[in-house]
Amino acid sequence: MNYFKQDFSAINMENMKSETSEAVSQMPGGKTSVVNFAGIVKKLNEDTSAEAEQWFRKGRTVSLVVVFWKMVQQFVTVYFVKGSLRYGYMGFMSAVNSSLYQLISYTKYWELKERERGNM
């Protein structure tokens, strides 16, 4: 079967909308479980916003060099040390998302600092 030549005309867009709206489900104990990629992105956005606001409130200084180092460190830790390598593409995406967390948090922190300075 050729996976690149599929007929996508039969895709039901209403089903896709309902799937993405239920991207994060509640688990016992108040924890959340991400059930699809839209949920992963949504949670990444929420968590990085909270992290940037926390850095901003504490007046933390963040260097771009340190952010890039943490990105590499986080990718290596998740992909190789924690074993996401075993899960193929989803393991790779998990490691990429973990490393992007650092960069996105920094970018949101930078944006908050620029707004405070009146540059945005």
pLDDT digits (tens, 9 = 90+) for 72-86: 999 999 999 999 999
Question: Length of the chain in residues, anyone?
Answer: 120
Structure pTM?
A: 0.68
Contact 46, 82 (CB under 8 A): no
Contact 94, 110 (CB under 8 A): no
Q: How far apart are CA 1 and CA 28, in angstroms?
A: 41
- Which residues lie closer than 8 Å to 26 by C-beta, 6 or more apart? 32, 33
pLDDT digits (tens, 9 = 90+) for 9-51: 333 333 334 444 445 455 556 655 556 888 888 999 999 999 9
pLDDT digits (tens, 9 = 90+) for 35-46: 688 888 899 999
CA-CA distances (angstroms) from residue 92 to 49, 82, 87, 97?
Answer: 23, 12, 8, 9
Stretch 39-65: mean pLDDT? 93
